Amino acid sequence: MSIIEKMTKIVNEGDTAGAEQLIHDDYKFLMHASGKTLTKKDVVGWVGMKDVKKSNVRVLFENDEVGFEHAMVTFNDGNKEAVMSYYKFKDGKVAYQETGATKLPK
């Protein structure tokens, strides 16, 4: 299973222990939609909230250094987005992530 596939499974299951293991301690997550940068602690907490489900996940490219993914994301409040993600890997873990999101009708 690829790193991106593991991350998808962790997010969809709300697996905070898995997130702790797969996310590098130096992790930063840049969210273009809001301009916010999140830390590992922020994202592990968010995963535990089980606020989002990813579907139609397509790994567009992945190697030992980087990965690109496109997915449909549905939040518990009914909001939906098409999300493009860029990942950087370090030591076999997710060290950096950027997302660009397009809101979709509910």
Amino acid 102: pLDDT: 94
Domains of the chain: 3-104 (3.10.450.50)
CA distance 86 to 64: 13
CB-based contacts of 64: which residues, under 8 Å, 6+ apart?
89, 92
**Alpha-carbon torsion 87, 78, 105, 54, what sign?**
positive
pLDDT at 32: 81
Helix (H) and strand (E) counts in the chain = 3, 6
Per-residue model confidence as pLDDT tens digits over 21-42:
999 999 999 988 788 999 999 9
Residues paired with 34 in a beta bridge: none
Each residue of 39-91: pLDDT tens digit? Answer: 999 999 999 999 999 999 999 999 999 999 999 999 999 999 999 999 999 99
